[in-house]
């Protein structure tokens, strides 16, 4: 494979990640998710994914609604299914695994307790302003 082919593939992959990220953020905002944080972890060797997208809902019902909307919107608009998801039993922290991206939806108390932003403080962090 030529260097040009590899560069083109990497460029397309980056564009796909950006489009997926935008769909995830939009799906979170559609259900009034707050505190959206995007953590770029691509430079951290031991990281479980290239990026985390973290947000919160006011209560377990909203957390489940946000997670459902993320899954539904990505499937409907991009044909992307998660590799796995977990946390619906209590809906205080739901994680959705899209391979290179992990989406974490918390209730505020769980987010404060696990504090992923601090745990992975070597990551580059971008905060998305709340819509209201």
Domains in the chain with CATH codes: 3-128 (3.30.460.10)
Per-residue pLDDT at 14: 60
Put simply, whether the predicted model's pTM sits higher than 0.75 gets the answer: yes
Place 9 in a pLDDT band, splitting at 50, 70 and 90: very low
What stretches of the chain adopt beta strand conformation (E)? 34-40, 51-56, 84-86, 93-97, 101-106, 124-128
For helices 60-78 and 3-30, what crossing angle results, to 10°?
140
CA dihedral 63→31→99→14, nearest 10 degrees, is: -150
Range with top average pLDDT, 8-12, 16-20, 71-75: 71-75
pLDDT in tens, 63-85: 999 999 999 999 999 999 999 99
């Amino acid at each position: 494979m030529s260097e040009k082919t590899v560069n083109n593939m990497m460029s397309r992959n980056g564009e796909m990640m950006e489009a997926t990220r935008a769909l995830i953020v939009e799906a979170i905002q559609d259900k009034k998710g707050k505190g959206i944080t995007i953590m770029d972890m691509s430079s951290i060797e031991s990281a479980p994914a290239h990026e985390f997208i973290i947000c919160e809902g006011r209560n377990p019902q909203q957390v489940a609604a946000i997670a459902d909307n993320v899954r539904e919107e990505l499937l409907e608009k991009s044909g992307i299914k998660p590799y796995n998801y977990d946390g619906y039993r209590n809906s205080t922290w739901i994680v959705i695994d899209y391979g290179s991206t992990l989406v974490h939806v918390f209730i505020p108390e769980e987010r404060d307790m696990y504090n992923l932003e601090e745990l992975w403080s070597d990551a580059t962090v971008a905060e998305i302003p709340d819509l209201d």
